[in-house]
């Protein structure tokens, strides 16, 4: 078993060269099921939107020139020809000195080029008194002014939320092509770890990592398969991993990667097939024992057991891979600039990540990054308190108080 520590940059390079991640293919799904999926092809409009000139107000469609000079003191009179019905093509046209009643969203009739707001008129039978002039195109949304036929509206690789799905509906699409979601098996190891929902015997703790990692997989565009908890036993672990290799595109484990007698994960991963272990140990703090195996084309990321280290190393090393497999750009840039509230020290020779909470300093009117204790204490509350982390390079001793730092967020909001 080799235990040569890679630098963080070497580890990233090893991932790129050995895993060569790529999207897993394309599938067609209903637009209503598309939340959080990733568009696989550019969305191109094959119609003009709006598809006709339409009124943006309730009022009267007119020829603008017929209203020139009209104001409160010198109103003008027009003859109402009838009404335009919404949702139908207009059955009348507007000539000189004429007006047609119209509602918001209805098509502008032939001959008219603008709409006088109902508030600026007074109507008696078919006589319309106009108290305000309009210019050409006033209160009209022109055909194709929003989206033009042939225009690319969303690019492949875009994740879909309520706004994007609304735009795709506007194009008339009920089905869309998205990237297949990578399935990622997630399991926890440790004879002390118990599944939530079960009683907690003495000496045991509840499993945090499988839950936080399953959710992190979802946030990264993958589909987690929860495999539960495996005790520190080689044979059981081996069987569970073999089962996971059949159904999943990638595997995440936590715990059992240090150098104690119970730390059986690296050797077990290596025994599963070729090429086996890619690295076991990276000069990081926290997260030094993080391990990567590759069995055939399927990566197995093994994170340390401390919940914060597990999540942090997931973000640093596994998340970009899952994002690429899901068709997303490898890194999102959820970064926030803030000022350090304390001096933050690095670990000699290791890329150090200090978990921080972002706060607003009302007096100084600025955002501050407050270190959240984690490290040796392995405090669970770190996870709840920290919004993200600050990175300190290997050759830098510390970040000083009041220094501006860039916080990489765990989630897209904080």
Q: Which stretch binds ligand AMP (CB under 6 A): 20-28, 42-50, 190-198, 357-365?
A: 190-198
Asked if 306 interacts with ligand AMP (CB under 6 A), we say yes
Question: For residues 94 and 265, which CB has a smaller minimum distance to Mg ion in the complex?
Answer: 265
Cα end-to-end distance, the chain, whole Å: 41
Asked if 207 interacts with ligand AMP (CB under 6 A), we say yes
What is the largest distance, in Å, between two alpha-carbon atoms of the chain? 96
What gap in Å lies between CA 138 and CA 150, rounded to an integer? 27
Question: For residues 121 and 189, which CB has a smaller minimum distance to ligand AMP in the complex?
Answer: 189
Query: Closest-CB residue for ligand AMP?
Result: 305
Question: For residues 168 and 257, which CB has a smaller minimum distance to ligand AMP in the complex?
Answer: 257
The token pair that represents 281 in the structure block: 């140990």
Asked if 266 interacts with ligand AMP (CB under 6 A), we say no
Contacting residues for 74 by C-beta, under 8 A, at least 6 apart: none
- Residue 287's nearest CA partner among 352, 222, 341, 357 is 352
Question: For residues 305 and 327, which CB has a smaller minimum distance to Mg ion in the complex?
Answer: 305
Task: Give the dihedral sign, CA 329/330/332/337.
Answer: negative
Q: Specify burial of residue 316 (Cβ count, 10 A radius: 0-12, 13-18, 19+).
A: buried
Length of the chain counted residue by residue: 414
Residues from 132 through 171 that contact ligand AMP (CB under 6 A): none
Smallest separation, CB 308 to ligand AMP (Å)? 10
Cβ contact 351:312 at 8 Å? no
- Interface with ligand AMP (CB under 6 A), residue total 18
- Residue 205's nearest CA partner among 196, 190, 192 is 192
What gap in Å lies between CA 134 and CA 142, rounded to an integer? 16
Asked if 374 interacts with ligand AMP (CB under 6 A), we say no
Of the candidate residues 26, 44, 205, 335, the single one contacting ligand AMP (CB under 6 A): 205
Asked if 281 interacts with ligand AMP (CB under 6 A), we say no
Q: Which stretch binds ligand AMP (CB under 6 A): 67-75, 304-312, 356-364, 385-393?
A: 304-312
Asked if 208 interacts with ligand AMP (CB under 6 A), we say yes
Asked if 256 interacts with Mg ion (CB under 5 A), we say yes
What are the b/e assignments for 180-195, b being 16+ CB within 10 Å?
bbbbbbbbbbbeebbe
Asked if 281 interacts with Mg ion (CB under 5 A), we say no
Of the candidate residues 36, 145, 215, 258, the single one contacting ligand AMP (CB under 6 A): 258
Q: Which stretch binds Mg ion (CB under 5 A): 67-75, 122-130, 253-261, 387-395?
A: 253-261
Q: Which residues bind ligand AMP (CB under 6 A)?
A: 188, 190, 192-193, 205, 207-209, 254-258, 304-307, 378
Q: Which residues bind Mg ion (CB under 5 A)?
A: 190, 255-256, 305
């Amino acid at each position: 078993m080799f235990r040569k520590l890679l630098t963080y940059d070497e580890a990233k390079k090893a991932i790129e060269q050995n895993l060569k991640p790529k999207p897993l293919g394309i599938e067609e799904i209903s637009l209503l099921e598309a939340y959080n999926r990733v568009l696989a092809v550019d969305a191109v409009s094959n119609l003009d939107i709006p598809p006709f000139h339409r009124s943006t107000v309730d009022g009267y469609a007119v020829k603008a020139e017929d209203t020139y000079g009209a104001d409160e003191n010198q109103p003008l009179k027009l003859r109402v020809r009838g009404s335009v019905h919404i949702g139908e093509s207009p059955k009348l046209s507007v000539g000189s000195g004429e007006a047609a009643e119209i509602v918001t969203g209805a098509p502008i009739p032939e001959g008219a080029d603008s709409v006088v707001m109902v508030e600026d008129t007074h109507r008696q039978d078919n006589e319309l008194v106009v108290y305000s002039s309009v210019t050409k195109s006033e209160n009209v949304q022109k055909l194709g002014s929003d989206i033009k036929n042939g225009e690319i509206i969303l690019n492949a690789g875009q994740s879909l939320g309520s706004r994007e799905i609304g735009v795709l509906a506007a194009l008339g699409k009920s089905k869309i092509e998205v990237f297949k979601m990578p399935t990622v098996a997630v399991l926890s190891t440790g004879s002390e770890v118990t599944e939530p929902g079960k009683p907690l015997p003495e000496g045991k703790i509840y499993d945090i990592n499988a839950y936080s990692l399953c959710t992190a997989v979802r946030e990264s565009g993958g589909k987690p398969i929860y495999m539960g908890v495996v005790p520190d036993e080689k044979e059981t672990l081996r069987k569970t991993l073999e089962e996971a290799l059949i159904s999943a595109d990638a595997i995440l484990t936590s715990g059992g990667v240090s150098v104690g007698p119970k730390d059986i994960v690296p050797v077990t991963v290596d025994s599963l097939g070729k090429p086996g272990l890619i690295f076991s140990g990276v000069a990081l703090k926290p997260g030094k024992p993080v391990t990567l195996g590759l069995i055939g084309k399927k990566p197995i990321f093994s994170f340390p057991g401390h919940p914060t280290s597990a999540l942090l190393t997931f973000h640093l090393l596994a998340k970009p891979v899952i994002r690429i497999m899901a068709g997303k750009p490898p890194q999102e840039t959820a970064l926030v600039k803030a000022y350090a509230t304390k001096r933050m020290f690095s670990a000699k020779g290791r890329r150090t990540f200090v978990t921080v909470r972002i706060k607003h300093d009302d007096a100084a009117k600025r955002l501050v990054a407050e270190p959240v204790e984690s490290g040796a204490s392995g405090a669970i509350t770190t996870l709840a308190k920290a919004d993200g982390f600050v990175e300190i390079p290997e050759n830098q001793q510390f970040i000083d108080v009041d220094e501006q730092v860039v916080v990489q967020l765990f989630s897209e909001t904080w």
